[in-house]
Amino acid sequence: MNKQEPRGFQLPRRRFVQGLALGGVAAGLGLWRGNAMAQASTPRAELRGNHFELEIGELPVDFTGRKRIATVVNGQLPAPLLRWRQGDTVSLRVRNRLKVTSSIHWHGIVLPADMDGVPGLSFEGIPAGGEYTYRFTVNQSGTYWYHSHSRFQEQTGLLGPIVVEPRDGERYPADRDYVVMLNDWTDLDPETIYANLKKQSDYYNVGKRTVGDFMHDTHRAGIAKALDDRRMWNQMRMDPTDLADVSSVAYTYLTNGCTPAGNWTGLFNAGEKVQLRFINGSSMTFFDVRIPGLKMTVVAADGQAIEPVSVDEFRIGTAETYDVIVQPSADRAWTIFAQSMDRTGYARATLAPRAGMTADVPPLDPRPLLSMGDMMGAMDHGSMDHHAMGHDMSGMDMMAMPGMAMPHANAPAEPLKTGPEVDMRVATPRGNLDDPGVGLRDNGRRVLTYADLHAVDAPISPQVDREMTLRLTGNMERYLWSFDGTRYSGAEPLRLRYGEHVRIVLVNDTMMTHPIHLHGMWSELESPDGTFQVRKHTVMVQPAQRVAYRVSADAMGRWAYHCHLLYHMEAGMFREVVVA
Average pLDDT over every residue of 84-102 = 98
Strands 523-526 and 532-536, bridge-based pairing: antiparallel
Counts of helices then strands in the chain (DSSP H, E)? 6, 33
Average pLDDT over the chain reads 86
**Where would I find the H helices in 508-580?**
566-570
* Cis upstream peptide for 78 (omega within 30°): yes
What is the 8-class DSSP label of residue 429?
-
What is the 8-class DSSP label of residue 493?
P
Confidence of residue 450 (pLDDT cuts 50, 70, 90): very high
Span 248-299, pLDDT tens digits: 999 999 999 999 999 999 999 988 999 999 999 999 999 999 999 999 999 9
Span 171-193, pLDDT tens digits: 999 999 999 999 999 999 999 99
Judged on CB neighbours under 10 Å (0-12, 13-18, 19+), 427 is buried
- Asked if 328 and 322 touch (Cβ cutoff 8 Å), the reply is no
Q: Which amino acid, 104?
A: I
Percent helix, strand and coil across the chain, each rounded to 5? 10, 35, 50
- Asked if 376 and 384 touch (Cβ cutoff 8 Å), the reply is yes
Main-chain phi, psi angles of 307, to 5 degrees: -65, 125
Residue 460 CA to residue 469 CA, distance in Å, equals 20
Confidence of residue 439 (pLDDT cuts 50, 70, 90): very high
Span 279-289, pLDDT tens digits: 999 999 999 99
Model's pTM, two decimal places?
0.87
Residue 510 CA to residue 397 CA, distance in Å, equals 16
Question: Concatenated DSSP letters for 248-277?
Answer: TTTEEEEETTB-TTT-EEEE--TT--EEEE
- Asked if 543 and 370 touch (Cβ cutoff 8 Å), the reply is yes
The full set of domains in the chain, from first to last, is: 11-170 (2.60.40.420), 450-579 (2.60.40.420)
Residue 277 CA to residue 300 CA, distance in Å, equals 9
- Asked if 352 and 328 touch (Cβ cutoff 8 Å), the reply is no
More confidently predicted of 243 and 213: 243
